[in-house]
């Protein structure tokens, strides 16, 4: 396996028939998904179809107490955290180190030891050596054997990601992409935050990597793809999409179960497209506005008592031999 270090070192079927907005989604999809932002959403992914429901805080707490984060006999359980923005200073969150510490403590209090933790980008806010060192040291507090990462655009300010790769890129290819296998699942970690014009961008070298990487895999192999910027057109007006993602999506169409997990947008969002399900994660730092609800995606100031409701972590479980992933998002509160 590559690209990690030792830590102790959905929409209704008829949505496709609705007129699309200029942002690539129907108005019904936007309205339906908008209700999920900032909440704890329990999602079951089965054969490419997402069944979702809002979980209130009492249900979330009781599920956690009962150890029901994933099915009891699940053989793979991992955690996704995202957008810690270590180094951010602003009224939207005056203590991002403190909130990321709480997220780490929440991971360590899940009642099980995750097989790995994935940080899906914007580890830092300004890409400084000190910020990279600080977040790496914090990640060693995760009670897991392996921590994987992909970079966000805030992790490559002014240096095309060199400082990020020096800290987190050991064993990766190109600009930091890689893949690995565990528990019968094939994982692909992509970098779409370099060469930014407006949208995310993968580039031909990375697309060729994916093509060769999956060439020998059986079509019934579950695939999980990590990226920072969404691989679907969530809201291109704000850059919340990847301009050449369809080339990778086309390569993944032959697989019966594909799950794409991203960060960047600082809020929960789910979209299903045939056999492929996309899940955007929330943040541990500060909320961003819902698509189109503000002039730009700038940090949102909310009452202090409500901030943790907008922050959180994600747990994912998979039972080897099945075609199901169980995805659960829970608030930091």
pLDDT tens, 171-225?
999 999 999 999 999 999 999 999 887 899 999 999 999 999 999 999 999 999 9
Report how far apart the first and last C-alpha atoms of the chain are (Å, whole number): 34
Residue 9 has pLDDT above 80, yes or no: no
Question: Residue 324: which pLDDT band, with cuts at 50, 70 and 90?
Answer: low
Beta bridge partners of 329: 314
Beta bridge partners of 79: 117, 315
Beta bridge partners of 146: 6
Question: Residue 46: which pLDDT band, with cuts at 50, 70 and 90?
Answer: very low
Please give the pLDDT value at position 123.
Answer: 98
pLDDT cut 70: percent of the chain above it: 77
Closest Cα partner for 222 from 13, 41, 46? Answer: 46
Question: Residue 29: which pLDDT band, with cuts at 50, 70 and 90?
Answer: very low
DSSP 211-264: HHHHTTS-TTS-EEEEESS-SS-SBGGGTBSBTTHHHHHHHHTTSS-EEEEE-S
Question: Residue 232: which pLDDT band, with cuts at 50, 70 and 90?
Answer: very high
Nearest-angstrom CA–CA distance, 111 and 71:
13
Please give the pLDDT value at position 250.
Answer: 98
Residue 21 has pLDDT above 70, yes or no: no
| Token output for 333 | 């509160």
What's the order of all strands across the beta sheet hosting 258-262? 178-182, 185-189, 223-227, 258-262, 276-280, 269-273
Nearest-angstrom CA–CA distance, 306 and 230:
26
Question: Residue 136: which pLDDT band, with cuts at 50, 70 and 90?
Answer: very high
């Amino acid at each position: 396996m590559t690209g990690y270090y030792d830590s102790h070192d959905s929409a209704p079927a008829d949505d496709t028939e609705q007129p699309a907005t200029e942002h690539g989604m129907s108005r019904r999809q936007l309205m339906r998904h908008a209700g999920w932002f900032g909440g704890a959403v329990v999602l079951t992914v089965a054969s490419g179809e997402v069944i979702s429901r809002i979980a209130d805080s009492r249900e979330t707490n009781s599920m956690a107490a009962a150890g029901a984060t994933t099915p009891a006999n699940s053989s793979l359980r991992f955690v996704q955290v995202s957008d810690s923005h270590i180094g951010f200073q602003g009224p939207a969150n005056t203590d991002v180190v403190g909130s990321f510490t709480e997220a780490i403590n929440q991971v360590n209090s899940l009642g099980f030891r995750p097989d790995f933790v994935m940080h899906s980008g914007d580890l830092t806010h300004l890409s400084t050596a000190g910020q990279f060192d600080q977040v790496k040291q914090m990640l060693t507090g995760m009670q897991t054997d392996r921590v994987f990462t992909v970079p966000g655009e805030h992790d490559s300010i002014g240096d095309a990601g060199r400082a990020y790769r020096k800290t987190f890129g050991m064993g990766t290819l190109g600009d930091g992409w890689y893949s690995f296998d565990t528990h019968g699942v094939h994982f692909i970690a992509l970098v779409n935050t370099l060469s930014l014009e407006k949208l995310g961008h993968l580039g031909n070298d990375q697309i060729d990597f994916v093509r060769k990487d999956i060439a020998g895999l059986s079509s019934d192999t579950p695939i999980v793809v990590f990226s920072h910027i969404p691989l679907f057109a969530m809201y291109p007006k704000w850059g919340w999409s990847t301009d050449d993602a369809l080339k990778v999506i086309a390569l993944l169409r032959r697989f019966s179960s594909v799950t794409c997990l991203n960060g960047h947008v600082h809020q929960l969002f789910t979209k299903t497209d045939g056999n492929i399900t996309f899940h955007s994660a929330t943040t541990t730092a500060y909320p961003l506005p819902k698509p189109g609800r503000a002039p730009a995606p700038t940090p949102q100031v909310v009452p202090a008592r409500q901030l943790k409701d907008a922050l959180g972590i994600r747990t994912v479980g998979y039972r080897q031999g099945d075609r199901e992933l169980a995805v659960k998002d829970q608030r930091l509160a």
